[in-house]
């Protein structure tokens, strides 16, 4: 039986979450349950309130929130503590009628501070495909961090909302051409490759600018937690732990913030410093919080 270590870090230790999601009301029409049978938030308003409750409870001082411009706007308007950083998420290069001209304008007016979560996996593409390149060029030009989905997706998703998704598109190696083309791009691979965590580690070894977040591996199901233990042990041994960042990917389940932080703190092979670096210091460096005022 796993016993969570709740106080392995000071209770006031600051946290940065690199991976939250905001949704509009239509998303909540259908009830959902996670692997453990827990229901998700019942409405967009409750989703925000419940997520924000956990951000406060666990001292998450900054969090990248991804979604459409409208869903993120709704969260920013209610961000009483200035905790949120504007993200913008797309699965297909033409989502929301987007093109590079509209995208660059959104960057210029401050509506996009982080480009992510990008999910080419779900649309049967890869970040190296030509259609994504105009966006990546703009991000490199304006120094916008980019977060791309790696690993698998929701079980059965291919039979419903993401018919073009295939597991093979979750391999982190599929972003290598992007790293070559845009060496100044601030890129992080979400979920640290999940099933392909060894590929994530190899990319981080070969491309020292590449960061990762832990995402669903910390909470979504026991298989992923097995992956994250192995990933973190190898990252620590190899010296890449200073580029691993905490991220929840709470989706419809805000309690994932509590579950994932508690699970990370329960890993006894990580020192208190390791945990502080993952939960805050690495992301603060990646986001350049001291210099760009996000």
> For residue range 40-53, what is the model confidence (pLDDT) as tens digits?
999 999 999 999 99
What domains are there in the chain, each with its CATH number?
15-292 (3.20.20.140)
Alpha helices by DSSP H, the chain: 44-57, 69-76, 100-108, 133-142, 176-181, 197-206, 222-238, 256-265, 272-276, 282-287, 289-292
Taking only the tens place, the pLDDT of each residue in 226-284 is: 999 999 999 999 999 999 999 999 999 999 999 999 999 999 999 999 999 999 999 99
Running DSSP on this structure, what letter comes out for residue 161?
T
**Average predicted confidence (pLDDT) for the chain:** 94
| Average pLDDT score over residue span 25-36 | 95
Residue 293 has pLDDT above 70, yes or no: no
pLDDT, residue 266, reads 97
**What pLDDT score was predicted for residue 7?**
39
State the pLDDT at residue 120.
97
Does the pLDDT of residue 76 top 70, yes or no? yes
pTM for the complete prediction?
0.94
Has residue 59 got a pLDDT over 60?
Answer: yes
Residue 9, pLDDT above cutoff 70: no
- The residue ranking higher by pLDDT, 153 or 130, is 130
Q: In whole angstroms, what is the distance from residue 64 CA to residue 117 CA?
A: 9
Share of the chain above pLDDT 90, in %: 90
């Amino acid at each position: 039986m796993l016993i969570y270590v709740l106080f392995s870090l000071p209770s006031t230790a600051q946290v940065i979450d690199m991976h939250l999601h905001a949704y509009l009301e239509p998303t909540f029409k259908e009830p959902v349950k996670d692997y453990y049978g827990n229901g998700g938030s019942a409405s967009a308003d409750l989703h925000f309130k419940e997520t924000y409750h956990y951000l406060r409870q666990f001292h998450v001082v900054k969090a990248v929130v991804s979604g459409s411009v409208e869903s993120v706007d709704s969260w920013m308007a209610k961000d009483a503590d200035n905790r949120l950083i504007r993200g913008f998420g797309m699965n297909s290069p033409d989502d929301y009628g987007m093109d590079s001209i509209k995208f660059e304008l959104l960057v210029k007016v401050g509506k996009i501070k982080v480009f992510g979560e990008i999910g080419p996996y779900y649309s049967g593409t890869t970040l190296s495909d030509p259609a994504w390149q105009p966006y990546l060029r703009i991000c490199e030009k304006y120094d916008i961090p980019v977060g791309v989905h790696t690993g698998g997706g929701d079980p059965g998703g291919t039979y419903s909302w993401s018919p073009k998704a295939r597991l093979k598109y979750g391999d982190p190696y599929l972003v290598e051409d992007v790293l070559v083309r845009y060496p100044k791009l601030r890129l992080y691979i979400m979920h640290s490759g999940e099933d392909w965590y060894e590929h994530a580690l190899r990319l981080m070894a070969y491309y020292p600018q590449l960061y990762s977040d832990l995402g669903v591996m910390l909470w979504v199901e026991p298989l992923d937690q097995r992956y994250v233990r192995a990933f973190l042990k190898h990252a620590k041994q190899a010296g890449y732990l200073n580029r691993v960042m905490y991220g929840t990917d709470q989706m419809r389940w805000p309690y994932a913030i509590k579950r994932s932080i508690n699970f990370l703190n329960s890993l006894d092979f990580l020192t208190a410093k390791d945990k502080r670096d993952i939960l805050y210091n690495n992301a603060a460096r990646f986001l350049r919080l001291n210099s760009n005022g996000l």
